[in-house]
């Protein structure tokens, strides 16, 4: 199965070069320019590895790494440019699996990507696991459990929960959820979101972390 690598980098030249090298080696490579977009992508699809630059517009690579770590097991390879960053990345605090110092050779980076994926599970797909308290969502198995007990969800409910769990403590508008889950098709408009959230809450019962944000939409929160 083709491995998907998400490149998070605001410099076009670096991202473009990396993408070309990864694709040449048989990876599917996607590129986003900011941490916010990276978190969106993680909520939308299964990613096998993230190549994450530290210097980004908006939230920086350390914060992106922290937010990804809080909810997913996807491996992270960080790109670092500065001396003081290297110390932080090399230390345990960042949660990154490995790091490469700029300027780097793309060949070296691809070799590191392969090494990390080998460690992460060899030929099998490491998948992406999203967690919130007792809830665990596995994209590879398309399975949701509460305290290890499986919960039966429809595809839309699964995708909706995935989108919400990928943005913990962040209010998502109904329009945003329609875009993330229904991909631009709006059957029944924003009302569709309310109906699916109601079904999801019923199925998750007391474990449901989905809160209503009045006048906006929904978020996953305490």
Q: Closest residue to Ca ion, Cβ-based?
A: 55
- Show contacts with Ca ion in window 42-61 (CB under 5 A): 53, 55
Q: What is the DSSP string of 72-125?
A: ----EEEEE-SHHHHHHHHSGGG--SEEEESS--HHHHHHHHHHHHHHHHTTS-
Our CB check for Ca ion shows the closer of 68 and 220 to be 68
Our CB check for Ca ion shows the closer of 98 and 136 to be 98
Can you say how many angstroms the Cα of residue 49 is from the centroid of all Cα atoms in its chain? 10
CB of 41 to Ca ion, least distance (A): 17
The span of 6-14, 143-151, 168-176, 192-200 binding Ca ion (CB under 5 A) equals: 6-14
Q: Is 87 helix (H, G, I), strand (E, B) or coil?
A: helix
Q: What is the DSSP string of 47-59?
A: -SEEEEESS-SSS
CB of 188 to Ca ion, least distance (A): 41
Count residues contacting Ca ion (CB under 5 A)? 3
Binding of residue 125 to Ca ion (CB under 5 A)? no
Binding of residue 10 to Ca ion (CB under 5 A)? yes
Q: Is 222 helix (H, G, I), strand (E, B) or coil?
A: coil
Our CB check for Ca ion shows the closer of 12 and 188 to be 12
Can you say how many angstroms the Cα of residue 168 is from the centroid of all Cα atoms in its chain? 12
Q: Which residue has the tokens 């059957």?
A: 187
Q: Are 187 and 135 in contact (CB under 8 A)?
A: no
Q: Which two tokens stand for residue 1?
A: 């199965």
Binding of residue 36 to Ca ion (CB under 5 A)? no
Binding of residue 37 to Ca ion (CB under 5 A)? no
Our CB check for Ca ion shows the closer of 55 and 95 to be 55
- Interface with Ca ion by CB under 5 A: which residues? 10, 53, 55
């Amino acid at each position: 199965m083709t491995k998907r690598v998400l490149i998070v980098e605001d410099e076009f030249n670096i991202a473009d070069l990396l993408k070309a090298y990864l694709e040449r080696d048989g990876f599917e490579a996607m590129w986003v320019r900011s941490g916010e977009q990276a978190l969106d992508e993680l909520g939308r699809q299964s990613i096998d590895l993230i190549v994450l630059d530290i210097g980004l517009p908006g939230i920086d690579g350390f914060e992106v790494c922290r937010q990804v770590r809080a909810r997913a097991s996807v491996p992270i390879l960080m790109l670092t440019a500065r001396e003081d960053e290297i110390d932080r990345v090399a230390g345990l605090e960042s949660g990154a699996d490995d790091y490469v110092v700029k300027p780097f050779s793309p060949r070296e980076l691809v070799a590191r990507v392969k090494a990390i994926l080998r460690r992460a599970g060899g030929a099998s797909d490491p998948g992406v696991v999203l967690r919130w308290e007792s809830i665990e969502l596995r994209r590879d198995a398309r399975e949701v459990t509460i305290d290890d007990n499986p919960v039966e969800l429809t595809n839309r409910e699964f995708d909706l929960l995935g989108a919400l769990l990928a943005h913990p403590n962040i209010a998502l508008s109904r329009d945003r959820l329609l875009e993330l889950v229904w991909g631009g098709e709006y059957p029944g408009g924003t009302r569709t979101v309310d109906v699916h959230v109601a079904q999801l809450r019923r199925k998750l019962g007391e474990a449901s972390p989905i809160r209503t944000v009045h006048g906006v939409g929904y978020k996953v929160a305490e």
